[in-house]
Structure 1
Amino acid sequence: MKISIIVTTYNRPAALNLVLAGLAKQAINPNTEWEVLIADDGSKKETSDLITAWQNNFPCHLVHVWHEDIGFRAGAIRNRAAAQSTGDYLVFLDGDCVTMPDFVNQHASLAESGWYIAGNRVLLSESFTHTLLSENDAIQIMDWSVWQWMAAKLQKKTNRALPWLRLKLSIMRKKRHSRWEVVKSCNLGVWKSDFVAINGFDEDFSGWGHEDSDFAVRLLRLGISIKDGRYAVPVLHLWHQENDRSKQAENWQKLEATLRSHHIAAKIGYKSHLS
């Protein structure tokens, strides 16, 4: 199996740099092929320069996929990156979500026919995020001990103390198999064939809000169930100011229309980027 990690970003190179540093530290199973595609929603030259610098010394193929900045179009750039991917399995990750060293291997181990993976986040505080982004060796957080994580939780640097904990959970991972509300596109694993079958993300959702819920609902309608990725594939979510939510109400109406309908494939989605 080959895994394509698709990282969505927009004009936040310092955060993206830390995300790439985390991906560069992956302890990859020798039998696992992988690649990383940066799905760039119209960032300026600083982001391009950063990616070029990383391409010279990255442990796998690193691709920069860009489109023009004409507003928040995360779904469209994810679809464009997926169209350029060569993996059998897609893992979507946001450009402010730092991975643990076993992230790729854990996603590979959870991958199962008929299922997609809803990963989880560990939220970092505003002050701690600023500290990490100002340090040259911030990626050393990956090597923290149990006690360091416990201390960070007590000091309110993070909202969780157990990002180091790994549990098999077995059948419990499938307990919330239809809870589309838990699915977030900042940490999501899906077979590419299933992604293609629903035509990817629906680009009719413009601006922030609910395009990942629409995606989750349509996958469930296809017959693909949700597997819980907690205690397996956590990411460290760097603090950021709240996104512009002026389109949230409009997008919620679109999600409600999806819930009332029976369609599976997005009208405008992945296939529009194949050319």
Structure 2
Amino acid sequence: MNASDLVSVVITTYNRSDALLAVLDGLSRQSDRHFEVIVADDGSRDEHVRPLFESDLAKALKLVHVWHPDVGFTAACIRNRGVALASGSYVIFLDGDCVPELDFIAQHKALAQPDFFVNGSRVLLSPELTQRVLAGSAQICGRSWFFWLVQRMLGHASKLTHLLRLSDAPRRLEREFSWKGIRSCNMGVWKADFERVDGFDESFIGWGHEDADFVLRLHHSGMMRKNGYCATEVFHLWHMEASRNKASQNAQLVEERVKNGLIRSTLGYSQVRLNDNAQITRL
């Protein structure tokens, strides 16, 4: 992919405007500025939507905000809505609590190639460091190896792989489907390939494995996974884990699809949406 190619960054968020603004701050500092930002909001309350609309960061990035009413965890649906507004030929999915490093866009572009999707990596931050970031007392983008070595020694960062930059190579490829390390919070895919598998499957109810299903169907369609470690890491801000009541049921559905070779969603991106109540705002 050329640096001049437009990339669409689709950010999923829900009732966490402070974390989202930290993510937007990271995007505003990118070395490669040729991208657009679409915030896919899974039903945030007004007190979390309003700070975004009033933010200078949002206006500077000229982001698009798509919101639908809160009916539970429907990440598959709102991601599909976000992609529908994307103008770029390549889409990077990012969660609203994952702060990108300064070369995040540039590294994703460097790894992008036909017939592959990029599965990104993340560095987990502690509650203490997360609070400092959200309070504006700690900047985590563009910091030195010494800063991160101290954070790792103090238990504030889960690993240091983001300090390395490894070139594209066959070792990054996984030709067969694997559950390990699938991260829809940091993933790059060609929009044409997203459309070919009909996006995320909205029949997945509650938290869990809609991203694994998406990756599985990409594999079934003939694509291969490329891992973005030591290139595309993001800093994952700490939060309490969501309810996983439906996780085992969703996992069983993915296991069934491993065997049946399904490619297109049963309830996906291309569906006709009657009485659509999504709200779109361009800042």
Correspondence for 2:11: 7
Matched, 1:89 2:90: yes
- Equivalent in 16, 23, 28 of residue 24 of structure 1: 28
Does the aligned pair in 2 maintain the 1:51–1:64 contact within 8 Å?
no
When you count helix as a share of all residues, which structure comes out higher? Answer: 1
Residue 183 in 1 paired to residue 177 in 2? no
So what's the TM-score if we normalise by structure 1?
0.93
Rounded to whole Å, the distance in 2 between the matches of 1:237 and 1:121 is 6
Q: Give the % identical residues.
A: 41
SS in structure 2 opposite 1:202?
Answer: coil
Cα distance in structure 1, aligned partners of 2:56 and 2:195: 28
Return closer, same or farther for 1:251/1:18 CA change in 2, 3 Å cut-off: same
CA distance in 2, matches of 1:143, 1:55: 21
Please report how far the alpha carbon of residue 43 of structure 1 lies from its aligned counterpart in structure 2 after TM superposition.
0.1
- Paired with 2:23 and 2:219, the residues of 1 have a C-alpha distance of 30
The alignment of Structure 1 onto Structure 2 pairs a total of residues equal to: 269
Give 1:85 shift. 1.0
> RMSD of the alignment, in Å?
1.7
Deviation at 1:128, TM superposition (A): 1.7
The residue number in structure 2 matching 1:150 is: 149
| Pairwise CA distance, 1:127 | 1.9
1:117 is matched by which residue type in structure 2? Answer: V
CA distance in 2, matches of 1:172, 1:244: 35
1:160 aligned partner, one-letter code: K
User: What is the Cα deviation at residue 137 of structure 1?
Assistant: 4.5
Change in Cα spacing, 1:124 to 1:273, as seen in structure 2 (3 Å) is farther
Q: Name the CA distance, whole Å, in 2 between partners of 1:252 and 1:97.
A: 24
The Cα of 1:170 is off from its aligned counterpart by: 1.8
C-alpha separation between the residues in 1 aligned to 2:176 and 2:220?
A: 10
Equivalent AA in structure 2 for residue 87 of structure 1: G
Shift of the 43–120 alpha-carbon distance from structure 1 to 2, 3 Å rule, reads: same
Looking at structure 2, the residues matched to 7 and 55 of structure 1 have their Cα atoms a distance apart, in angstroms, of: 17
Give the secondary-structure state (helix, strand or coil) at the position aligned to 2:165: coil
TM normalised by structure 2 equals 0.90
Q: Tell me what 2:70 maps to.
A: 69
Q: CA deviation at 1:125?
A: 1.0
In 1, the alpha carbon distance for the partners of 2:182 and 2:31 equals 26
AA paired with 2:172? R
Offset of 1:211 from its aligned partner?
A: 0.5
Secondary structure of 1:270's aligned partner: coil
Quick check: 1:198–1:264 contact (8 Å CA) kept in 2?
yes
Shift of 1:228: 1.1
Asked whether the equivalents of residues 7 and 91 of structure 2 are also in contact (C-alpha less than 8 Å), the reply is yes
